[in-house]
Amino acid sequence: MMMMMMMMRNVIIWVLVVVGFEFQMSTSQVSEISRKSFPEGFVFGTASSAYQYEGAAKEDGRGPTVWDKFSHSFGKVIDFSNADFAVDQYHRYNEDIQLMKDMGMDAYRFSIAWSRIFPNGSGGINQAGIDHYNNLINALLAKGIVPYVTLYHWDLPQALEEKYKGWLNPQIIKDFAIYAETCFQKFGDRVKHWITFNEPHTFAVQGYDVGLFAPGRCSIILHIFCRAGNSATEPYIVGHNVLLAHATVADIYRKRYKSKQHGALGISFDVIWFEPMSNSTEDIEATQRAQDFQLGWFMDPLIFGDYPSSMKNRVGSRLPTFSKAEAYLVRGSLDFVGINHYTTFYAKSNTTDLIGILLNDSIADSGAVTLPYRSGHLIGERASSIWLYFVPEGIRSLMNYIKHKYGNPLVIITENGMDDPNDPLISIKDALQDKKRIKYHSSYLSNLLASIKEDGCNVRGYFAWSLMDNWEWAAGYTSRFGLYFVDYKDNLKRYPKQSVQWFKNFFTS
């Protein structure tokens, strides 16, 4: 049963679609692209998060997070690992910045650990945390690399979870706003690109619906998998509080800091593109619903001031509502949209409702089933992760969907990449020959370029996930997404994969 639940997490949790038009790029087009192909000012970078990279979990006053507790709980991480040391970027950031510089990257997206600034989530400021991020930001700028800062990448201070259940309590809106404003005050003179949240859909569903991410809450099959939670209501409460927290912070930034600091503020969403399983009306409608319950859940309130009608109709009273003042605060509260896109699935109508009977949660509410295969054929070549398939034309379809539905907002691809397995039988020499990754990035970038130049999509940046192999949440160290290979057996040494040279050539040719 646990394996079935893992499959559901990786296969059904992410959902979406539109009217299903597809674009194909020829091999010749893929090989010809370079930095010069993209518009002037287009930003290229790599992305990371504090919990996956920093390590130093108990150093310099850092407080514990929900992921510290979760990863140290038996059976929560597939290889029984944790991120106490991760890839030690807390101590090695100068070395890693030089790797970015050598590659030719323009920018680095990283997150600030809330519990390094406020060890208890609120109260007294930890100066050692302020000093660390000042040093990191200054080191980036000294090498000509622009910082893109994420304020929340899932590592909630454990103290707030224990104090009032974290994102389930509206008190978190005030505490997050104080934390965010502190960051604006301490770093905003140099940081001009802020991302309030990374993938609220992911941590709402994974953390409070199926319970496979921190804090591990759910009510699936009478709490067999989680000790507490309500999968039918909690994901929506969390999502609602996140939207209000984002809007509150955006309002603070615009009123108190934007005119002096001249920065921009956005939010990053996880979006799988979806194609209808068939041309039937039922599957096309289910595909749209799947999208509504993924991207629309958060983008509709931010652009239109309310949740998608399909969510309101299907979730009913379990879905929180915005007051007029809240809707006014939320609508338009972003300067850019961050999109974390990796893959494409098929979507079909859930005619049997077996999932609904088993789960009674937000996944079932969409009335859609999402799968990576049709008629026994996979949608594309698979990476290591069971949910990640190469469908490069999906990124072009997604950019067009956002353009047409949401009025062509400024978009930054804040994550895109693929993983190889961490196979102990593969030598480092062989692991560095990552031709599959080169194929992935080149084909996705080609389709992204087509969406910009041929379709007029307003995309201004691309961040590869990730600079180096790292700790991948519930997958632990079993998955390698990096452009640099990290030798976990030899002092975390970094080795450039073939994809590093590909990016160097891409930037200079």
Q: Is the predicted pLDDT of residue 374 greater than 60, yes or no? A: yes
- The pTM of the full predicted model, rounded to 2 decimals, is 0.94
Tell me the per-residue pLDDT of 473-492, one tens digit each, with 9 for 90 and over. 999 999 999 999 999 999 99
Catalytic residue among 54, 275, 393, 415: 415
Amino acid at 218: C
CA distances for 367 relative to 16, 161, 240, 273, 390, angstroms? 12, 31, 21, 17, 26
| Residue 223: per-residue pLDDT | 67
489, 495, 492, 470: which is closest to 481 by C-alpha?
A: 470
Q: Is 181 a catalytic residue?
A: no
Tell me the per-residue pLDDT of 384-435, one tens digit each, with 9 for 90 and over. 999 999 999 999 999 999 999 999 999 999 999 999 999 999 999 999 999 9
Mean pLDDT of 74-79: 96
Mean pLDDT of 100-108: 98
Q: Is 285 a catalytic residue?
A: no
Tokens standing for residue 5: 């639940």
| Residue 358: per-residue pLDDT | 54
What percent of the chain has a predicted confidence (pLDDT) above 70? 92
Amino acid at 97: I
Q: Where are the beta strands (DSSP E) in 271-407?
A: 273-276, 336-340, 344-349, 368-371, 373-374, 377-378, 381-382, 389-390
CB 15 within 8 A of CB 272: yes
191/203 Cα distance (integer angstroms) = 25
For the chain, the average pLDDT equals 93
| Residue 22: per-residue pLDDT | 37
CA distances for 469 relative to 194, 202, 402, 451, 465, angstroms? 24, 21, 30, 29, 9
Catalytic residue among 199, 275, 326, 393: 199
133/239 Cα distance (integer angstroms) = 28
8-22, 70-84, 463-477, range with the lowest pLDDT = 8-22
CA quadruple 140, 145, 148, 150: dihedral sign: negative
67-71, 361-365, 437-441, 492-496, range with the lowest pLDDT = 361-365
Tell me the per-residue pLDDT of 288-300, one tens digit each, with 9 for 90 and over. 999 999 999 999 9
Alpha helices (H) along 54-113: 66-71, 89-103
| Residue 220: per-residue pLDDT | 77
417/42 Cα distance (integer angstroms) = 18
9-23, 189-203, 318-332, range with the lowest pLDDT = 9-23
